[in-house]
Structures are given as structure tokens and as C-alpha cells.
Structure 1
């Protein structure tokens, strides 16, 4: 198999990678047949998976543009995967061309891909760090520079906290991030939910138990609690398609089938 120019030397092209599988769900081109085969097996167990991933990505784009329209130019995307197919820097710079973005992921493969893709972009950088080690993440020079006082920062925790086990206390993880933010900052969050499709929760979580990244779905109250210290903007915590939809038709007849809840909060 040939190695495209966005693939780092030494990458195992015969082993599927979660970030590239996600790119495939989104309709991107930064994936290989081994990733597509893994995705097809997952869809056999969870047919709505691609639609859920795309609804999540669409929420990311809408929320970033919402904040950019309100003056935000600094974005910290934690659990970013590979920034392809509608990445944060594209969404933000469509409104604010001067926007700075720091992408953070704990997967070395995703980070290596990202650094090649973003090579030559002086306003974007990629950091290898684990959300569960917040102090280590905050100590990274690129992250520390982004969080310097002067302007608010939008922290994006999009489809990542459900990969933080209860033993790692996700509420404390978010609180530590919140306390490091400049005044006026924002939290963008989406999370796999037990609401709306409770009968699917067991199979969904069982599917992910077979992977290195098991999934913990949480109910509305637990997800709302992650916004402690932030004021939720309208319409509050809602299903993915319901957050500032581009049109009523975009919500669809059963938004709860997207099994994810989303919201944006402003630091109070």
C-alpha cells in the first residue's frame, strides 16, 4: 500500500485507527480500507452510527461559528481526532480569519496525521496530551499560550467526555479546565446520552467495550452537571440536531435517535 503525503512515516497501514474511522463516517478521505472495514462492522451492530457522527460534527461547526460570530478567536479542541472534513479552524476562520486553534488528542497516530495536515498553518497547532491528565495538558506550551489572559477561549469537549470513566471523575476534569480559563470563556460540549434511546444504550456500550476506548453513556442530569460554573445559552442542553439548527427541517422527526446531547455554556 502506498503512503499518501498526509500519513507519517512508520504508520501501520494494516491496522485500523479510531480517528481515521471517524473521518470515514464523516465522508472524509483520510482513511484506508482497513478503517472502512472496521466501520462497516460497527454499522452492522449500530446502523445509525454514521448519522450520529455527522450530527455531532454539524453541532461542532454550528457552535464554533456561533462563538466566532460573538468575537471568539481562540479555540481549544480536546479529543480532536484528525482535523479533516469540517475542522474547527475552517469553521472559525469562515467568520474570524484570525482565529487560533490548538488541537489536543491522546492518540499518537491522530496527532502525527494532524501535524502533517496542519504543516504550514501558523495559527494552528496539535498537542499530544490526555484529557484525564488535565495538569499535564495545561502545562503544554501551546495550550498555555492559548489560555493567556486577554481574550476568552472556547474549550471544545465534543464527543470526548463519554470516553472518561466515572473513576476518572469527569466533573472534576471539566472543573479543572474551567478554573484555568480567562474570564468570558465558553464550554462547547456533546456527550453520548441515555436519554431518548434507552433501549440502545446497552448494545452501544457493549460495542465500545470491545475497543480500547470504552463508552460511558450518561443521563441528562449528569451531562448538565458538567456545565457547573457555566451559564447554558439557549436552547440549553438538547439533542444534537436541536442546537441552533440551520432550519426546522434539519432537526428531523426523531432527534432523540441521535443518542447525543449538546450545549454551549459561558463562564459565569
Structure 2
């Protein structure tokens, strides 16, 4: 088996990024770790998120991955710079690609971001947007109920609609807003509801497509693309109960052959100090 691309997330949200990788890079093998046992990361202290992120990274490094994708916005905000410094393989987070995609589509430079408390309060998106385009008007809104809702499989119907409508109420008051970044990889799973609540005139951005495009470019430049014509293998590890995890995988990846996908449960080794 050729070396795989490693993807980490706090739970099932990063599966939306993995799906985009499977679509854009169909020859690549993927190894995914979702820390479902300790999700969500958003309310957790910075150092705790960094520790948990490193536990997932070390699990994947033991499997000799060739690239690391941090498909968790909170982990990207807190740990990306450190991981880039300390790892010898390419490391990509989801914040910069998401910001770039929003800059491309906004018509009036009024961009909103919804995410976990950790992501929004870190200021990572605001900083990235301002770095690319200094005259951007930024609106950030933490949405704590969304990740637990998605992890429980509440992704459609009246209950999900009511939760999303209530949480997004402050953002609907921003009349100039024309672009909204889904600053958590769980949120694309409920994108149809978010679009319905915010209205069709709002462009909604998820970073998976842009992240996969960036990964493809880096792999090509570093001659790391898999040119094997064999069937790729994708392994998905959950640290907690696998029922909802497996359901979400089958829902998102229904167009891919089951023989390509293995779903497993694992425990992460605690970091030693």
C-alpha cells in the first residue's frame, strides 16, 4: 500500500473534507482519525486541544503518512503553526483555504464566519481574511450547539431547523453580509439548513474543496502523488462509539465502493511528559 494522506478531526466533521479528497484525488489512500470520544474541541482550553491533536498526529505518524490534513478548525487555530515547525511532512489546515475561497466570492467584502467558541475567539479567521484583503468586514459567531447536534446525527428535520434558526439569529441581523464561511468541518453536513435560514443570496463557503486543491498542488510539486492504478484503501478510525460515525460515513460516501472503506475503533496513546 502506498503512503496515505492522514486526516484528523475532533469527530465526524472532517469526513466532509475526506469526501472532497476522495473526489479530487481518487488514487490516494486516506487514513482518518475522528476523536469522537472527546468531541467537541471548541469549548476546551487551548493546551488541551493541542495535546489531543498531537495524540491523533502521533497515531498517524506511526502509520507513515506522507501528508497531514488538520480537518478541524479549532485544532488548526491552536496547533497548525507548531505542527508545521515540528513535522517533516507537509501539513495543511482548513482556515487559510476557507478564507481564500471566501475572498474569491464576496461581492461587497462583508464576510461572516460561524464556528466553535475556540475557533471564533482565537481570531484565526479574522487574521487570515485581513492578511489576504485588508478592507474585509468580518463578523464572527460561535455556534456551540451545532457540533453536538451533528455528532448525534440530528442533521435534518424540524429539530435541526429550530436549533440552527435560533443560533444564527444574530447573524441574520447583519444586512450587508453576502458571504458566510462554515468555520467548522461539521457544518457542511447541515449546510442545506444553514442556507435555508440565511437565504439563497448568501454565498456559503466550506473549506474542503479548497483544502483538497491545495493538497493536490503540494503533492504534485513534491512528487508525492500516488500514480498506482490499484484500488485505493481508506481507513477511518473513531476513538468513541462507532455507530453514528459509521452511519455518517455510509451517508457521505455512498457512491464509493464499500471495499475501499474500513471503519474501525481505536484508542489514542496519552502523551507522556
Q: Which structure is higher in RCO with an 8 Å CA cutoff and minimum separation 6?
A: 2
Normalising by structure 2, we get a TM-score of: 0.44
